Chains A and B, each alone.
Chain A
């Protein structure tokens, strides 16, 4: 029977679509730790971790459909060309970044990152930008703050909005044929001198450190050009890379969905079989209990439970279990009622086998195919309910789930601001996962459900 189920599943078109979607999701969650740093999972809600990303920008591929916006660029030490030279006892470390500017719009901001270790004599930092038109702008020239003890490491980031940078740029007014006062530094740096447009071409941005003694050394450098597009899914208000959140959401959703459905169906199966097999007063009272659970309003009680007892993911799975076993119990019981009177069951009973043995050896195996179908059908409900709880703000706060991404989007009014990349992908993932399990469940059910088959034959 199990084999027939599998073959039937792979023969139907719906089944194949469902299985391949889930296969794809499983594959993605398996490779997720390899392609994205695991730290991003644990620090999803930590704003510090995402500080180098741009705020609320669209995915990069929107550039194919409209004006070419500047794509966010984040360069670190390894992207820089290092030239070190020694003249008159002063060591000059020059870190040079090359930026190929091809966008139609200016970057939102520029950040120069550095970190240096030094003693009594602080090094001097000079930032030069050599433009495609062969002008060189020195935008920053200053010594690092003095330190009291030897061996301090000083890290900082210089923003393009820094007053020093603004002043430094003002001296290049004579090169421009229009007034640059009032323009943002990142605009001036990347502007054509003839007209206020982007000057396309290769820019060489160098951070030069003048080191005056042997204690001094450069620890780290970096350059961030804030863009208007980023990554395959863009970022949200907290600068988080949404693609990362979406991918981490997959294993969590699958875990919640499968755990809840497997356990709830198992509970329903045993409950239903016991009620149906024992019959009479046991059945009657067990079914009344079932009715009571059926009549409880799920979401309000779920809300109360998670407010009272906490919101860890395992508690939520437990709460979802309380409200999801009744349907299965009812169906299984009605089938077990019929099975009870089958001759082989009666034969087993006459042979003196115990009730428990009859149930587990003769009745439950008959019901397994239907159970598999029910498990698949129960997954979407669990995923959707968990997403709903997360959306209300009662999800596990330490995990990046799709429901929580949507909650953040809703709290930030993403819909009325038109931030579609914050709304569409997470919901689509919920829908896709639910859809896949619906398809599989439907197919399995049409093969395994005796009630349905009887109707078909009639």
Chain B
């Protein structure tokens, strides 16, 4: 498990490292071109101009230590350490609410908001999913069951961010219930800021719930029906325990570990999907920052965010694995 974790981290960092170099070189080049365009230097021919740009780019890359190749050991270690400590310098385009342009500050300001939105959504969806899934599992083949699986297939094929756009169209443009932009208007030091934040969170939250609860109920139903076919359930039936009780206490409990795994994986995946959903709603979290940073190619921010989201992803998977062993008595015995 730890081996997998570490290997994943290592691959990501190597991938990030070479990307980092390439992007940084590009950024330096862009800077030089910009300076030449705005500066007072005059060139006689376009050839002279481009050779000046090339020379400057090479010179500055050398100063930044980019000429050694990203895979040389010293560079690699240096890079891994700087990425892991999020010591990535300053962002060129973004600042925190308090005006700091340090990458670490910016990212740490955004992370809680993403976690707030997506964890709330996942918790709501899980609760609705388990209740609904258990309900329809008890009525296998009924109208409820069928319409739930149809709904699950439909909501699986809709891109979340498209549903998000539709929700804005419906609730913000047509009905004027929620604001179209989810960034709160009041400043963070305002005492009502938190309420404002919650109000602006409503539409993204509703969207995330609508999009995924159907599929959730379907997964829960699938696990439960598998368990309901097991021999020990039949034994319990013959012992005279009511079907309701078997469903809600015995079957659901046994379905716990796989459901917990699924919750964890979904949570981990949802942070990745957050990039677009947040961008559509303008929710001031990591995803929105990511989206904006890609738009202006702010390298340090992109690298930092990729690293942080990898960490969050891996930690979530790790917690999921641990909770699996806690929930499943068979694994605990080993």
- The judgment on whether A and B are partners is yes
Query: Which residue on chain B has the smallest CB distance to residue A389?
Result: B276
Known contacts A308-B19, A434-B157; decide if A296 and B11 are in contact (CB<8 Å). Answer: yes
A438 within 8 A of B: yes
Complex contact A299–B275 (CB within 8 A):
yes
Complex contact A307–B309 (CB within 8 A):
no
Chain A residues with CB under 8 Å of B22's CB are 308
A414-457 at interface with B (beta carbon < 8 Å): 414-418, 420, 423-424, 426-427, 430-432, 434-435, 438-439, 442, 455
Task: Select which of A392, A420, A426, A435 is within 8 A of B275 by beta carbon.
Answer: A392
Complex contact A406–B8 (CB within 8 A):
no
Complex contact B7–A427 (CB within 8 A):
no
A77-125 at interface with B (beta carbon < 8 Å): none
A368-416 at interface with B (beta carbon < 8 Å): 380, 384, 387-388, 391-394, 406, 409-410, 414-416
A contact patch SS: helix
Complex contact B158–A431 (CB within 8 A):
yes
| A438–B151 alpha-carbon span in the complex (Å) | 13
Complex contact B19–A307 (CB within 8 A):
yes
Distance (whole angstroms) from the CB of B154 to the closest CB of chain A? 7
Chain A residues with CB under 8 Å of B165's CB are 406, 409-410, 414-415, 423, 427
Task: Select which of B3, B12, B162, B276 is within 8 A of A423 by beta carbon.
Answer: B162
A351 within 8 A of B: no
B180 within 8 A of A: yes
Distance (whole angstroms) from the CB of A24 to the closest CB of chain B? 16
Known contacts A394-B294, A416-B172; decide if A308 and B159 are in contact (CB<8 Å). Answer: no
Distance (whole angstroms) from the CB of A404 to the closest CB of chain B? 13
A34 within 8 A of B: no
B contact patch SS: helix
B168 within 8 A of A: yes
Distance (whole angstroms) from the CB of A440 to the closest CB of chain B? 11
- Total residues of chain B contacting the partner, CB 8 A: 55
| A304–B156 alpha-carbon span in the complex (Å) | 26
Chain B residues with CB under 8 Å of A415's CB are 165-166, 168-169, 172-173, 180, 280
A350 within 8 A of B: no
Known contacts A301-B15, A388-B276; decide if A431 and B159 are in contact (CB<8 Å). Answer: yes
Complex contact A288–B306 (CB within 8 A):
no
A66 within 8 A of B: no
B209 within 8 A of A: no
Q: Which 9 A-B pairs have the closest CB atoms?
A: A427-B162, A434-B157, A416-B180, A415-B168, A435-B157, A299-B272, A297-B313, A300-B306, A295-B8
Give me 14 A-to-B residue pairs in the complex whose CB atoms sit less than 8 angstroms apart, sorted by A's number. Answer: A288-B3, A295-B313, A297-B271, A300-B275, A300-B306, A303-B306, A304-B306, A388-B159, A410-B280, A427-B165, A430-B158, A431-B154, A455-B226, A458-B229
